[in-house]
Structure 1
Amino acid sequence: MTLTRRAVLLSAGALGAGPTLNGVLTGPAAAAAPGAEPSAETKWTARRSDNGWAIDPDAVDSFRVEGSPATVRLHRDASAVLLHVARRWHYEVVPLHSSRDALGHRTDRAVRAAYESNYLSGSAIALLGAGDGLWPHQEAIVRDILADCGGVVRWGADLSPAAACHFQIDVGPDAKPFTQLTKALRDRAVHHNGPRPGAVEDPAAPERRAKARRLARTQSKN
């Protein structure tokens, strides 16, 4: 799926918001199509979020996004993957200037789309600060980040209603791809054998671009 610049615009309300997701995921820029009516707000009553993660505030902690001044509250088990996404976003897409630019766990159960419930379990993150949207080279980086995560993470631009600031763990906590990715990321951190902060393999390399395109086709259809 090829995203237009209009599809990735972030609402002005999102940029001015405090530590809350109200207006971030359901503002004008999150609409599935121009002129579409916003979804009605409902209360999420299930014990698990839409992606199968238990809603347990005791499993949530605060984490700093490496290289930035931002901290974000996430499920401890989801933190390695979502912080990897946030770190690459900070270095390669849009700098995170404060904790207002990275929003995670929330307790307000009012949602307009099922995927917003993933914030209740701390298994989703909203990364802001893109101003009037993402340029094509930034979109390419985001696709590379998703490919780097092997399909474990899904971008809100591929969901309905679209939300270009939204990233979620797209599998359950016991899914093998998730546990393998988490182990790999934590091993890198412990043994310092991964890329330096801000230094990754070239996202423009043909094999990486091909992998990113294949995943985009898959995730945009589901």
Structure 2
Amino acid sequence: MTIDRRTLLLGAGATAALVALPRPAQAAADATAAAANTKTWSADHSDNGWSIEADTIEPFRIEGSPATVRLHPGAAALLLHVARRWHYEVSPLRGAKDVLGHRTDRAVAAAFESNYLSGTAIALPGAGDGLWPHQKAIVRDILADCDGVVRWGADLSPAAEGHFQIDVRPDSKTLTRLTATFDNRSVKRNGPRPGAVDDPTARERRAKARRLEQVQADN
């Protein structure tokens, strides 16, 4: 069954919450600790095995939103699928500044951050203060769409709920298959409209999402 994503969000009954801002002293301490853990990534490949080559990076528009993001073309189909569903079902993307893709700054606080250097990771907004349970369930459903090719930062250490990365090497057969699938389903090729999605609460989809969560959260 296919349902409208905005209807799904309204049905979830999410409510807004006030979040206390950190005290200045604590914020300064956090910034100092982060700086102390920062290292320079000197390898020619990112942590997921993709080459770091700035001239391969291209800009891509996220369907249904005003946002664009710079990515490696080989990683784009899956990461754009993640970003599009995030926009409709988790937190709206209002412009280019809402999405982080490729970057050239080699300073990293964790190895997985190097995947931005190869254009094979994105950071999306709305997760800084933690996601609601229904939002996490949707993210798990998105990951199930991607058959383990995309990994969520919530399953990494340190956890980063806005982070998503390609978790296979560029010669992955599953990556190739899914890239073709998502390309064929794009709006430009008469695929489903951006606001339509298979029901993430369907029993088989929930079961698939739980199985993948067990695998990715344990690795």
Q: Quick check: TM above 0.5? A: yes
Q: Of 90, 102, 109, which residue of structure 1 is paired with 2:99? A: 102
Task: Note if contact 1:96-1:129 (Cα within 8 Å) is conserved in structure 2.
Answer: no
Matched, 1:188 2:182: no
Quote the residue 1:40 is aligned against. 37
* Whole-Å separation in 2 of the counterparts to 1:171 and 1:133: 26
5+ residue gaps, structure 2, are: 1-18, 23-28
Q: Of 151, 172, 175, which residue of structure 2 is paired with 1:154? A: 151
Quote the residue 1:51 is aligned against. 48
Q: Return the letter of the residue paired with 1:208.
A: R
Quote the residue 2:26 is aligned against. none
Q: Return the letter of the residue paired with 2:159.
A: A
Q: Please state how far the C-alpha of 1:133 moved relative to its aligned partner.
A: 2.6
Q: Secondary structure at the match of 2:196?
A: coil
Q: Return the letter of the residue paired with 2:115.
A: N
Q: Secondary structure at the match of 1:168?
A: strand
Superimposed CA distance per residue, residues 132-167 of structure 1 (whole angstroms, 9 cap, x where no aligned partner):
331111100000000000000000000000000000
Change (3 A) 1:11 1:117: farther
Change (3 A) 1:40 1:132: closer
State the aligned residue count: 192
Q: Secondary structure at the match of 1:200?
A: strand
* Whole-Å separation in 2 of the counterparts to 1:131 and 1:106: 20
TM-score (norm 2): 0.82
Using the TM superposition, name which of 131-140 and 104-113 deviates more: 131-140
Superposition pairs of residues 123-134 of structure 1, within 5 angstroms: 123-130=120-127, 132-134=129-131
Q: Return the letter of the residue paired with 1:93.
A: V
* Whole-Å separation in 1 of the counterparts to 2:124 and 2:100: 7
Superposition pairs of residues 14-93 of structure 1, within 5 angstroms: 38=34, 40-93=37-90
* Whole-Å separation in 2 of the counterparts to 1:12 and 1:84: 32
Task: Note if contact 2:99-2:123 (Cα within 8 Å) is conserved in structure 1.
Answer: yes
Task: Note if contact 2:128-2:161 (Cα within 8 Å) is conserved in structure 1.
Answer: no
Matched, 1:121 2:118: yes
Task: Note if contact 1:93-1:141 (Cα within 8 Å) is conserved in structure 2.
Answer: yes
* Whole-Å separation in 1 of the counterparts to 2:179 and 2:217: 24
Q: Secondary structure at the match of 1:151?
A: coil
Matched, 1:178 2:175: yes
TM-score (norm 1): 0.81
Q: Please state how far the C-alpha of 1:12 moved relative to its aligned partner.
A: 7.3
Quote the residue 2:16 is aligned against. none
Name the larger-Rg structure: 2
Change (3 A) 1:76 1:205: same
Q: Return the letter of the residue paired with 1:59.
A: T
Task: Note if contact 2:144-2:208 (Cα within 8 Å) is conserved in structure 1.
Answer: yes
Q: Return the letter of the residue paired with 1:136.
A: P
* Whole-Å separation in 2 of the counterparts to 1:96 and 1:90: 5
Q: Please state how far the C-alpha of 1:63 moved relative to its aligned partner.
A: 1.1
* Whole-Å separation in 1 of the counterparts to 2:58 and 2:99: 14
Change (3 A) 1:64 1:12: farther
Give aligned-pair identity as a percent: 66
5+ residue gaps, structure 1, are: 1-9, 14-26, 29-36
* Whole-Å separation in 2 of the counterparts to 1:122 and 1:12: 32
